[in-house]
Each structure stands twice: as structure tokens, then as C-alpha cells.
């Protein structure tokens, strides 16, 4: 005889669409990148990281010519303000997008920002671009302990990653840039990084007819350093990570908790059974090892990681003293140099952990070469100092638990990067 639906399942069924939507479980079909088939009229609603046309540049080969850019800019859809959605995983932060009202995102502005981001002509000797320290091939960071600028000069901090900035507020390790626009132009005038001046940068861009055309088309006041920042920031906001295995595993775990007592009876509710099967299929396509699954539980539990690495982007966007570098005679005081508040001495911003396996070395000073070293640092409770965060404590992790945590960060938090054109700059 056919089993009658259990009372608990019957109670949950009317609520299922609401619960599943709240956890993102109804968005499985949109988790993978989709191609834009109407190249003549791209949509004004875009999912960052999934619309290949946003970052792959003006179609063609070689250096951009004035005629190519004129033709591309003549299409009205390049100037329509985009309605932004985020890919699976990051979409939980959709209510927390940092897009200034005076700098809406358009395809034309993203493309101008792309050109500027990869153009070494923004530096005083034409050798350093934004991508020199925030390289797509190096996880949008740099695999050196410190950033390296003009004439081989080293900075004092590790290069932070340039992706998922659309869900991040203040920028740099110390948060000294209030907006992404401010951050984008800071390195241009830094004597160690690009070694240029804002005035010279603007003059050089104005002397290039292709850049001049684009700025005059996109901004009422043409080429200014503020508009350079707006263009680069718009491009950087389009750099987001795709879904990671964690996102799919978390969906499955949530579903199984929601229907824990009724999984064996889902055959009696075809819609939910179909959803459950889709969740399991998604996991099969984005697997995590058993070690990584154990690490996922440790991350939110004994290892205390989620205390700071929380939310859709795995960061609380706050500043903490972890004791890193505090043994030095004159340590980097981080956030304190911005706020001058005693509590901020030695505090640095919590970085995102999405795609963290691709952006070694780690910590604000690049002192930890591997994720295993990072886990060891936290396990020991950091370097004791008067301003050490109260969130830091000795963890007493076993060797297996440490390995599981590393496996989770490597496997569970690594998603895709969007396709991007790194060449095709103005001639």
C-alpha cells in the first residue's frame, strides 16, 4: 500500500518554496555559466561571472583601433545601466552591493576599466599595470611576499586580491580607501607602485585618441583622475568568483536538515524529489573529498574560522589583530595608521577566503607561504601582544584536523573566475 505522507512532511510542503528560496536551493539551474546567444542586443540584466561578454573585450585581434572603438561605442546597449545579479554562493550578498549612485555599471565603462587595468602606461615608466600585482593568472594577487612596483621596488604588504570587491566596502589591508574608486587611483601616484602623478597620468591618457574618445563618450567632464578611478572600479566590480563545491554541499546539507525525517518519503512529492535529485547531481559535478567535508564542519566549529570568515564572501569586513608581524621591533600597525585608535593597533582587514588556494602567499605581510602554515598560525593562537584580538585562542587541532581544514579551503572554496581579455589595449 502506498505510504501516506507523514505529518511533518505535510506541514513542511507548503513552506518548502519559501525555505528553499531563502537558502538558494531554487537557483540550481542558474548555477552554471550561460552563454548570451543574442550578441546584437545583450541583456541589461547580467549575472556577474556568467556573462562572458562583459570582460572579454571588444571582439577582434591585436591592438584596439580608433575605428573599432568608435563602432563599438555607437551601439546604445553599451551605455545602458546594468541590473546586477550575483552567481550562486555570492548571491546571498545581493542586498549588500557596493555600487555608488554616481558610478552605475555599463558595458562601455567595464570595457574602459578593463583597458586601464591592464595598461602599463598608467605607470611612469610604462612597466607596471594594476594587473602586475593583481594578476588573473596569479589568483588576482601576486605570488610574491610583497607587491613589486616600478624599478623593482618592494612594498611592505602582500597584494590583496582584486575580486569580489562588489560586496566589499573599504579597501586595502588597512581600509584607508573608503571606496573602490579611491583604491583604484591610489597606486598610480604611489612612488613605490606606479610612481606616476595623477596629473601626468591624465595628460598621457588625453594624448591617446582612443582613450580620449571613450572618456568623452562616458563622462560629461571627460578625462579626470576621478573618472579613471570610476572606470577601473567598475571593471573590478565585475570580477567575481563562480560557485564553489561548498555552495552545492551547503545546499544539500540544508535540504537534508529541513527534511531530515522525511527523505525516504520524498517519492510521494515529485517536485521535492526532483529538487533533491538535482542537489545530489550538483554535488556529483562539484565534489569534495571526505577530508574537505570534515574540514567544512571544523571551519564552522572547533577551528573558529567562521567567527571572522563569515557570510557569502567569507569575510566579516572587519579589522583584527592576529599577532602577525607583531614580534618586530617596529611592527606594521595597520588600521591604527588610519583611525589612530589604540584598539586598532596591528589590526588588518579580514580577506575573503573564496579562491584562497589560488592566491598564496598569505597574511598582510605575505609571511605564510601555504595554507598549512596559516592553519598552524591560528592553531597556536597567534603572537601574543597587547592588542591581540579576543577571537584568537589556542585551538589544539590534531594533524588530521589541520589537514582537513586545508582540504576544505582548497577544494570547497575554489570556484571559477570569469573569462577575461588581458590584451586588446588601445594602440
412-421: per-residue pLDDT in tens? 999 999 999 9
**Residues 29, 147: contact at Cβ < 8 Å?**
no
Name the 3-class secondary structure at 121. helix
Output the pLDDT for position 213: 98
Backbone angles phi, psi at 81, to 5 degrees: -60, 130
Name the 3-class secondary structure at 288. coil
Local confidence band at 42 (pLDDT 50, 70, 90 cut-offs) = confident
**Residues 128, 170: contact at Cβ < 8 Å?**
no
Q: Residue 24: pLDDT above 80?
A: no
**Residues 168, 161: contact at Cβ < 8 Å?**
no
Domains, in order of start, for the chain: 7-30+245-285 (no CATH), 51-237 (1.10.760.10)
Beta carbons within 10 angstroms of residue 427's beta carbon: 12
Output the pLDDT for position 162: 98
* Rounded Cα distance, 247 and 282, in Å: 10
pLDDT in tens, 339-390: 999 999 999 999 999 999 999 999 999 999 999 999 999 999 999 999 999 9
Amino acid at each position: 500500500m502506498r505510504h501516506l505522507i507523514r505529518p511533518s512532511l505535510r506541514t513542511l510542503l507548503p513552506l518548502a518554496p519559501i525555505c528553499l528560496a531563502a537558502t538558494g536551493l531554487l537557483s540550481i539551474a542558474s548555477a552554471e555559466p550561460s552563454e548570451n546567444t543574442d550578441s546584437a542586443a545583450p541583456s541589461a540584466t547580467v549575472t556577474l561571472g556568467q556573462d562572458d561578454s562583459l570582460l572579454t573585450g571588444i571582439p577582434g585581434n591585436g591592438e584596439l583601433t580608433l575605428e573599432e572603438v568608435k563602432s563599438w561605442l555607437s551601439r546604445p546597449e553599451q551605455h545602458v545601466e546594468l541590473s546586477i545579479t550575483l552567481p550562486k554562493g555570492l548571491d546571498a550578498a545581493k542586498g549588500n552591493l557596493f555600487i555608488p549612485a554616481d558610478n552605475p555599471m555599463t558595458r562601455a565603462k567595464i570595457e574602459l576599466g578593463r583597458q586601464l587595468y591592464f595598461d602599463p602606461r598608467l605607470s611612469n615608466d610604462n612597466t607596471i599595470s594594476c594587473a602586475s600585482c593583481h594578476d588573473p593568472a596569479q589568483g588576482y594577487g601576486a605570488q610574491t611576499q610583497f607587491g613589486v612596483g616600478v624599478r623593482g621596488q618592494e612594498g611592505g604588504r602582500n597584494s590583496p586580491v582584486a575580486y569580489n570587491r562588489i560586496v566589499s566596502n573599504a579597501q586595502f589591508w588597512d581600509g584607508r580607501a573608503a571606496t573602490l574608486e579611491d583604491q583604484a587611483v591610489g597606486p598610480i601616484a604611489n612612488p613605490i607602485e606606479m610612481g606616476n602623478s595623477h596629473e601626468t597620468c591624465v595628460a598621457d591618457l588625453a594624448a591617446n585618441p582612443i582613450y580620449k574618445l571613450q572618456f568623452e563618450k562616458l563622462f560629461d567632464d571627460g578625462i579626470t583622475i576621478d573618472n579613471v578611478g570610476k572606470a577601473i572600479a567598475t571593471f573590478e566590480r565585475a570580477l567575481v568568483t563562480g560557485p564553489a563545491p561548498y555552495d552545492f554541499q551547503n545546499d544539500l546539507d540544508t535540504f537534508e536538515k529541513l527534511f531530515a525525517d522525511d527523505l525516504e518519503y520524498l517519492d510521494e512529492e515529485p517536485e521535492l524529489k526532483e529538487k533533491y535529485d538535482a542537489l545530489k547531481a550538483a554535488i556529483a559535478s562539484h565534489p569534495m573529498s571526505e577530508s574537505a567535508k570534515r574540514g567544512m564542519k571544523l571551519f564552522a566549529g572547533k577551528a573558529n574560522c567562521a567567527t571572522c570568515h563569515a557570510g557569502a564572501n567569507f569575510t566579516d569586513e572587519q579589522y583584527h589583530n592576529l599577532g602577525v608581524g607583531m614580534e618586530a621591533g617596529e611592527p606594521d600597525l595597520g588600521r591604527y595608521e588610519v583611525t589612530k585608535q589604540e584598539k586598532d593597533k596591528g589590526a588588518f582587514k579580514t580577506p575573503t577566503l573564496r579562491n584562497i588556494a589560488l592566491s598564496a602567499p598569505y597574511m598582510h605581510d605575505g609571511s605564510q607561504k601555504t595554507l598549512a602554515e596559516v592553519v598552524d598560525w591560528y592553531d597556536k593562537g597567534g603572537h601574543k601582544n597587547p592588542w591581540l584580538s579576543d577571537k584568537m585562542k589556542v585551538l589544539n587541532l590534531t594533524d588530521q584536523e589541520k589537514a582537513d581544514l586545508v582540504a576544505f579551503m582548497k577544494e570547497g572554496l575554489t570556484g571559477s573566475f570569469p573569462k577575461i581579455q588581458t590584451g586588446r589595449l588601445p594602440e
